[in-house]
Amino acid sequence: MTILYTWLETILREEYEQVRMLKESPRGSVRLVRHKNSGKQFILRRFTGNGEVYQKLLGCSCPNLPLVLEAAEKDGENLVIEEFIQGDNLGFLLEGALFTPKETRGIVKQLCKALWVLHSMAAVHRDIKPENVILCGKDAVLIDFDAARLHKPGAEADTQVLGTTGFAAPEQYGLSQSDVRTDIYSLGVLINVMLTGEHPSKKLAEGHMGRVVQRCTQVNPQKRYKDVLHLMEAV
């Protein structure tokens, strides 16, 4: 992997140019870059930590996930080049208006399809929130796998607390190990925010969707939907 990382750094330096910085944090950065010859734009991620899920996603084609083109690691430092999804960020859209139950169902079902692909690889996203969803035409695309991890049977708890306060499930704070039901918890919060603009603890969505949210966000993972297929059927 060290050789691949060095090769990728060289390619990026010689054949790509930065368009703009999209996000920067102590863990790393996300940049929009352009290939000098073709003019095509891509997302470049540099981050410290575990990049195993990006390795799993290499070449995986799903309309609800960005295509990961290259992924390399050296001494805990990760380089990832992925498809640039041109569309509207869900977090930005929610600043202007809420979504109808019909719109919410359509988006959530697509996110469930994305998660079904991840979960089939034993991967858990662990950071589902409006800012990590891009609406591109009729497609909802789930992005940013920096906090994602592979589920490890037999492990008692997560070794690192990652996720976003309000959307992260209780087990992400060291109570137990994250699994597919961790993402279902976050999806439940997302559904509620799309419908009400609030966390379910402050204002629960009305009617059937409110009951779906309640089951998704049970503190005990065993009381949530057991997988995203059951959630798809419920919404």
For residues 190 and 167, is the Cβ–Cβ distance under 8 A?
Answer: yes
Alpha carbon separation from 157 to 21, 26, 52, 174, 175 (Å, rounded) = 34, 24, 18, 6, 6
Q: Any idea what DSSP says for residue 58?
A: B
Q: Which residues are catalytic?
A: 127
Q: Which residues of 29-63 are buried (b: 16+ CB within 10 A; e: fewer)?
A: ebbebbeeeeeeebbbbbbebbbbbbbbbeeeeee
Distance CA 94, CA 100 (A): 12
